[in-house]
């Protein structure tokens, strides 16, 4: 029996905005524009779109699929609520990278949104933390059962149910395409905003580094006494 591909929405979360000068930012954005955009014409945001952990829906991306997704994201649209029929895109993903934090590997793309009158409230709600959750729309081939490695549609295991010491989930195999990313009211990823790190001015950074380098180091010696019987 041949089974068709899934079209699926997998929630993620908006995590940060980028700050500070970036030499290639304009070039990265303008590769998708029909005319060169000035820096003040758009806002940029950074978000986690999906990761390799089991989520509330008991699904998980393996790392090799995240690598494929990471390469597919640039050029895809940012939508609202996966509404592909009733609304047009709010922004465009213009680059993406894989971000590792311990065992967690995330697809972390950047998106630009034009500063138009229609987008004023949209941008303000993102910057103010009201619109914080995101989700990825994609197509994939096989929901692989974590218990028996069969297609979940033909095996007897149920995601979320315990089998011995293991809880069943399904592994998202064979990603075909990334359709869009969306801003949604609530996702299942459990991620949130990550504060943007602001760089110190060069002079302040050098002074801080020099002071730290010359700071006396206290060394405490611990002596263990051995008693011979």
pTM of the entire predicted model: 0.76
Mean pLDDT is lowest, of 21-25, 100-104, 188-192, 195-199, for 195-199
User: Six-digit token pair at 39?
Assistant: 């820096």
Q: What is the pLDDT of residues 95-141, one digit of tens each?
A: 999 999 999 999 999 999 999 999 999 999 999 988 988 888 999 99
Binning pLDDT at 50, 70 and 90, where does residue 90 land?
A: very high
Looking at every residue in the chain, the average pLDDT score rounds to: 81
User: How deeply is 37 buried, as exposed, middle or buried, from its count of CB atoms within 10 A (0-12, 13-18, 19+)?
Assistant: middle
What is the pLDDT, as a whole number, of residue 4?
58
pLDDT in tens, 20-39: 445 589 999 999 999 999 99
d(CA 91, CA 111): 6
| SS3 assignment for 155-222 | CCCCCCCEECCEECCEEEEEEEEEEEEEEECCCCCCCCCCCCCCCCCHHHHHHHHHHHHHCCCCCCCC
CA dist 207 and 215 (Å) reads 12
């Amino acid at each position: 029996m041949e089974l068709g591909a899934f079209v699926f929405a997998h929630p993620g979360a908006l995590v940060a905005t980028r700050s500070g000068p970036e030499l290639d930012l304009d070039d990265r954005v303008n590769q998708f524009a029909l005319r060169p955009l000035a820096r003040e014409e758009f806002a940029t945001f950074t978000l986690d779109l999906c990761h390799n952990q089991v989520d509330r829906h008991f699904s998980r991306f393996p790392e090799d699929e995240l690598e494929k997704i990471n390469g597919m994201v640039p050029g895809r649209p940012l939508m609202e609520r996966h509404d592909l029929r009733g609304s047009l895109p709010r922004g465009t993903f213009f680059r993406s990278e894989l971000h590792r934090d311990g065992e967690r590997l995330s697809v972390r793309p950047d998106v630009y949104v034009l500063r138009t009158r229609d987008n004023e409230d949209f941008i303000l709600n993102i910057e103010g933390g009201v619109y914080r959750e995101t989700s990825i729309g994609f197509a994939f081939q096989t929901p692989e059962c974590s218990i028996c490695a069969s297609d979940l549609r033909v095996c007897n295991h149920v995601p979320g149910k315990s089998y011995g010491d293991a809880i069943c989930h399904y592994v998202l195999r064979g990603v075909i395409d990334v359709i869009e990313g969306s801003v949604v009211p609530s996702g299942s990823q459990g991620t949130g905003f990550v504060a943007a790190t602001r760089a110190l001015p060069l002079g302040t950074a050098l002074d801080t580094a020099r002071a730290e380098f010359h700071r006396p180091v206290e060394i405490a010696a611990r002596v263990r006494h051995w008693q011979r019987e």
